[in-house]
Structure 1
Amino acid sequence: MHELKIEKFPSKGTDQDTIRMKGNSIKLSLNVFNGKQGDFFLSYCPALSISGYGKTEYEAEEFIKHEMVIFCEDLVNMHSDERDHYLLSLGFKRERFRNKNFSKAYVDGNGRLQDFDEGTVQRKILQTA
């Protein structure tokens, strides 16, 4: 598994969450929203319903990266039919010309994300390095 990094959302980029698989290799490009929840920071990936939290934004991002690594390890260990069914159940769909690529439209950032303090939400992208 490659190292994961979280970057600011690019001004020119895609809003689409993608998971690309080849053998035991996975490439991710997923929307992650960061914000405060009371005294803590929260990082949330709506496409997978995975979150991380911490006393600082850095801790929250490290926590969600750790959770993403576990998700990817589990995905790689699934039988291909089980993995396909699971990703389809999350709302991903196969891209036409690549039978192991999955994509999902992002959750609209214009609405308020549950349990985030207003005005603290930042949109970032989590990708494999």
Structure 2
Amino acid sequence: MIRIRWRFVVYVLLVIALIAAGVVRICAGDVVSGTSFLVTCLVVFTAAKVLEQRRVRKSKESGMVPYDERDEARAGKAALFTLRILLLLLTVTMLIVYTVGVNWEIPVIIPVGIILFLASFILRVSYWILNRM
């Protein structure tokens, strides 16, 4: 029960942070971008919460336990695998950039976005694979 409350608190804090980011963007003068960011984030998070509640309700109706400790073990293994792969990729990339001496002038947000996408993708795929075993 504590875990469910903690997840809800994290969800609320994340939604508040996204709303604050959108409001800051709107106050900075970029109304269109800030509004579209707010709407998109809130729609995605609402859809995710509705789908999660539907999954929990269906599992309860079928007599299954909605939260199982085996899921947490699989999620931990998937997270550890993702962390190791990302550290390997970052190390290899850093060594290549250091040895070649590439002087790229790209915004910082591009590699950060790529790394976040890779982390999310590898985590989902590794969890899916571990869940299938």
TM-score (norm: length of structure 1) = 0.28
Higher relative contact order (CA 8 A, sep 6+): 1
| Higher CA-based Rg | 2
TM-score (norm: length of structure 2) = 0.27
More helix, by proportion: 2
